[in-house]
Amino acid sequence: MPLNYFLILAAFLFCTGAYGVLARRNSVLVLMSVELMLNAVNLNLVAFSTHMHKVAGQVFALFVITIAAAEVGVGLAIVLLIYRNTKSPDLDRVEQLKG
């Protein structure tokens, strides 16, 4: 089975996530797109782990999953703060630093 199948699928997921981060206004949806990108990276790591018969890639995928969980926890706390301060979950309402 060609290794590229998995790599190109992961590249597609990553680019979809990048589009979501750029084009979404709602902060929860931006976090979901970030998860898509992290998931694409995991797919790459596991595919290379199987290809090279080394378990290190799977261990790194586990670390990425853990850090994604931590990131979502802190990210949602920040989203909650944004919602509390601007009364809206939209990211373009966060403009206090705009000159």
Partner 1 sequence: MWEQEVAFWIIAVAMAGAAIGVVRSNNIVHAALFLVVVLAGSAAQYILLVAEFVAWVQVLIYIGAIVVLFLFGVMLTRAPMREERGKLDNNQRLAGAVVSLFLFGVLVVFLVDAFGNDKIKFDDSLVHLGSTQNVGNEIFRTYVIPFEVVSMLLLAALVGAVVLARRD
Q: Are 34 and 71 in contact (CB under 8 A)?
A: yes
Our finding on whether 34 is near partner 1 (CB under 8 A) is: no
Our finding on whether 65 is near partner 1 (CB under 8 A) is: yes
Residue 83 or 98: the one with the smaller Cβ distance to partner 1 is 83
Least CB distance from residue 96 to partner 1, whole Å? 17
Our finding on whether 42 is near partner 1 (CB under 8 A) is: yes
Least CB distance from residue 38 to partner 1, whole Å? 9
Our finding on whether 41 is near partner 1 (CB under 8 A) is: no
Least CB distance from residue 65 to partner 1, whole Å? 5
Three-state helix/strand/coil letters over 78-95: HHHHHHHHHCCCEHHHCC
Identify the burial level of 42 via C-beta atoms within 10 angstroms of its C-beta, where 0-12 means exposed, 13-18 middle and 19 or more buried: buried
Residue 84 or 99: the one with the smaller Cβ distance to partner 1 is 84
Q: Which residue has the tokens 């939209």?
A: 90
Distances in whole angstroms, Cα of residue 20 to Cα of each of 5, 33, 49, 55: 23, 5, 28, 32
Our finding on whether 20 is near partner 1 (CB under 8 A) is: yes
